[in-house]
Structure formats: C-alpha cells, structure tokens
Amino acid sequence: MTPVQPVKGTQSLLGEDADRLATVVAAFDRVRRLYGFKRVEVPTLEHTEVFSRSIGETTDVVSKEMYSFETRGEKSVTLRPEFTAGICRAYLSEGWQRYAPLKVATHGSAFRYEQPQKGRYREFHQLDAEIIGSAEPQADVELLSFGYQLLRELGITHGVTLELNTLGDPQTRNAWREALYDHCHLHASVLSKESIERLERNPLRILDSKAHQDWPVIDSAPPIDAFLSAEAAEFFAKVTEGLDAAGVPWRRNPRLVRGLDYYRHTAFEFITDRLGAQGAVLAGGRYDGLIESIGGPHTPAVGWAAGIERLAELIKAPVPDVIDVAVVVEDEQLMAASISVITLLRQKGVVAELYATGSPRKRWDKAVKRGATTIVSLKRTGPAVGASVSGDPDGKVAKALMDLMPQLANA
C-alpha cells in the first residue's frame, strides 16, 4: 500500500529545518518583549468577508489564492491568508479599542493557494507586528526599529536593505493616482496586458509590474513627491528623522507602493538579493483606512509581516541540541532507580536521556555517539545503590545525584 502523501504545498520538518523556524520565532519573541508588544492570538478561521473587505475583492489574494469554503450553516469561511485583517476584526469585536494605542505581535500559520516553490508554500508561517490607534510618525519609527532589531538578532542585516516610501495622505494619494492614470493611459499601447487591466482598477499597482515592457513607462511616471501635501511631507520627514536617530539605515524607493486605498503615508520593505526574485523578507506600511473599511471608526494603524521560512533560510544553522547527561541502564533491576535519577536531573534543568534498549555495550555506544557530556550508570554495591559517573569534570552531576542517594538505598 502506498503511504499517504502530504498535501501539496505543505511541509513536515525535522531537526535543523524545524530548529531554524524555532530560532526565528524565539528571536521574535525576545525582541517583542523589548519593545513592549503584547502577545496576541487570533483565529486561523475567519468569515470570508473579513479578508474580502480588508484585502480587497479585486486583489489576487482574494480572487485567486484564498482557501474559502461553505460551512454547514451555508456561511463562507476562510483560512487566514495573513494576520492583519483578523487582528483588526478582533480590535473591533473584542473591544480592544480601550487599550489604544495597542501594540501587538503574533506568529503562526497562514494559507494561500499558489504554485509552491522554494521558500513559498501553501501553508506558510508568518511573524506579525501591529500598532493600532496611533497616528504619530513615532509609531512607524517604533515598528521599523522593531523589525530592524529582529534582523540584527538573527544576524542577517548584512545584505538586507530597508526600502522606504511615502504614499502621502488621501489628498496626496488621489492627486498622484490621477496623474499616474493619465500618464499610463497615454502609453497604454506599450503596457503589458496585466498593467492594462490594472490601469482602470488601480494604476498604482502598475508600479509593481515585473514585466520588462512596462519599465520605461514606470521610469518616466510622475513621482509622488510632486503631489505631497505639506502635512504628508512633514510626516515622512519625521519618520526618516526618527529612523536616523534610531540608527536604522534606509534607502528611498519612490516606486514602492501599496495598491489598496486604505494605505497612507509610510510603506516599506526589508529586501535581500539572497532569495532570488522574491526578495522581501519583512514588509508593511501604515493602513489608516483599514479598520474603517471593515465597519469600524477611523483608526490609524501601522504594521508589518515577515515570512518565517524566508528568514530561516538566511540565518546560520542553529547549534543542534546536545545531551548533557546520558543515563545508561546496565542492570535491568535498576530500571526504576535509573528513571528516578533521570527525572531528578531534568527537574534540576539538566538535559538528560535514558538508554535502556539493546545490549549494555550498545547502550554505552549510543550514549557516546549522541555526544553526551556525562554518562551515568547505576550499580548495586551490596544492599545499596551507587552511581558510576563518567565525564563530570566540575562534579555538578555527582553533586546532584547525592540528593537522590538516600532514596536509592532501598531501591
């Protein structure tokens, strides 16, 4: 019988591969605490409208990539394709407004139906950080500093660049959008099919085009700086000044955009050339209009997400787990006493493993091959039970075992 295979686009991880993901999450959790972000949990499953209203009906994520299905109650639900929408839904439905400004962070699985490839899966894992309820540029600086320190903790800032842009306020964005539409409409005859489709829906997304034929049109497009209001320019200046003060290096990318209308002001991506065409490892922006789009009051917010698998590819291989103490059972009559010993060691914070299968010689061989620093074997000397300790230079294991000797006397 053929073994059952995994669902396409999912992965099962063991050893170093699993340790890499755990290393990224552990670093994220350390930095989260340093920056005062509360841990938050949101459901994996949401009503489909949470994502269709927040991500946008016409985006590829909603129209092509979401795992949506009907429940028995004939309501459409969706496995989350990202975290922000669910967090914003919870912000409204759970009454989290009373904690505003709210700094939250989470991580876990997300799901998108796309062609699996290296570093991209149908079930993937994300880190997510959000500041909800703060309209100040300092929130953007705080969030970007969090992201940069995370990359530093992981040892991957070399070769990673923060690209930064402003999308301005609604007045700026609308004026720029109209100018982009006029410009691209004038050159529509040379645009790719995808960009022509985007022209009517959202001309800003043409700036994201990967089609080479679109690049001359994009390069000659009017920049957003020509349309920035005084307020929008001041906001962006405060963000960049804050990043400079925090020691976060950045580079302006005037073509960096977010297509959805609820995005405002800051847009950013930490990118690398070490992952091929999909170079973004951490990306986000300010989305002051999102909560309003899902039925809430106007609520300023900014956030980012990062792919755990992508970050895991960039870090150095984690140090494998090692065994501090191996307890080798040489006398089957001392099995219970050996279990007591290993339990005591673990309670004292010692990484220990019991070797009790195979011949006594093979048990010793396994313990040595496992790399145990210290090997312990119990022996009966007359009515008492003693311990043979090998490789315990500082005597810590022997001292810990002394606590158990009275209990072993009658074993």
What is the number of residues in the chain?
411
The pLDDT tens digits of the residues spanning 347-392 come to 888 888 998 888 878 888 888 888 888 888 877 766 666 677 777 7
Q: Copy the structure tokens of residue 12.
A: 């099962």
117, part of any domain: yes
219, part of any domain: no
Domain check: are 270 and 338 in the same one? no
224, part of any domain: no
Any idea what the CATH number is for the domain that residue 371 is in?
3.40.50.800
**Do residues 87 and 104 touch, judged by C-beta distance below 8 A?**
yes
Give the mean pLDDT of 192-202.
Answer: 86
pLDDT reading at 146 higher than 90 = yes
Give the mean pLDDT of 199-225.
Answer: 86
Please give the order of strands across the beta sheet that includes 374-381: 352-355, 325-328, 374-381, 384-390
Residue, of 395 and 18, whose pLDDT is higher: 18
Domain check: are 255 and 393 in the same one? no
Q: Which residues form the domain of 294?
A: 16-169+229-314
Residue, of 257 and 234, whose pLDDT is higher: 234
The pLDDT tens digits of the residues spanning 39-51 come to 999 999 999 988 8
CA distances (Å), origin 32, targets 37, 96, 218, 332: 5, 19, 38, 49
Q: Copy the structure tokens of residue 256.
A: 């960096």
Q: Give the confidence band of 61 by pLDDT, cuts at 50, 70, 90.
A: low
Query: Among 314, 333, 357, which residue terminates a domain?
Result: 314
What pLDDT, on the 0 to 100 scale, is given for residue 358? 82
Residue, of 332 and 142, whose pLDDT is higher: 142
Domain check: are 71 and 131 in the same one? yes
Domain check: are 265 and 152 in the same one? yes
Any idea what the CATH number is for the domain that residue 262 is in?
3.30.930.10
Q: Give the confidence band of 119 by pLDDT, cuts at 50, 70, 90.
A: low
Domain check: are 114 and 152 in the same one? yes
Domain check: are 136 and 235 in the same one? yes
**Do residues 23 and 138 touch, judged by C-beta distance below 8 A?**
no
Number of domain units in the chain:
2
What pLDDT, on the 0 to 100 scale, is given for residue 99? 94
Q: What is the mean pLDDT of the chain?
A: 87
